Amino acid sequence: APAVKKFTLNFTVTNLQFTADLEKPSSRRFKSTEKVMYHYIDPLLQKSSIGPHFTGCKVTGFRSGRHRDDTKVDAVCSYKDNASLARFDRAKLYQELSTMTNSVTKLGHYSLDRNSLYVDG
């Protein structure tokens, strides 16, 4: 059976005001924002080179950004590592996500800090 591997995905949303309740995974705001993030993140990864192997992401937290309207998003994503996936290429995945988010500026109706996308395998 293929092994499940994980990678981290981080980015900053510049038009999502950070509030203290976003730090609490049990809060209503955390849960609703988490769902919205899945709505945007999962389809992107499904369209990427790891798409056939992608098994999902888990938002692990929201953090305060540099500016009042900035919220940093942290997620851990998973994929099945098997023979048909040559190897996890984080540079390739970064490039694909960059292209799919309009040079790291748009994620659905959210604006992104273009210097904030980080993929770590």
C-alpha dihedral, 117 to 48 to 120 to 79, nearest 10°: 140
Q: Which two tokens stand for residue 7?
A: 């990678």
Using pLDDT thresholds of 50, 70 and 90, give the confidence band for residue 2. confident
Q: Could you report the per-residue pLDDT of 20-37, keeping only the tens digit for each?
A: 999 999 999 999 999 999
Average pLDDT over residues 38-43: 95
3-state class (DSSP) for residue 116: coil
**Amino acid symbol at 24:** K
3-state class (DSSP) for residue 38: helix
Task: Locate the domains of the chain by residue range.
Answer: 3-120
pTM confidence score:
0.91
- More confidently predicted of 87 and 57: 57
Inter-residue contact 59 to 73 (CB < 8 Å):
yes
Which CATH architecture describes the domain 3-120?
2-Layer Sandwich (3.30)
Q: Could you report the per-residue pLDDT of 66-106, keeping only the tens digit for each?
A: 888 899 999 999 998 876 666 788 999 999 999 999 999 99
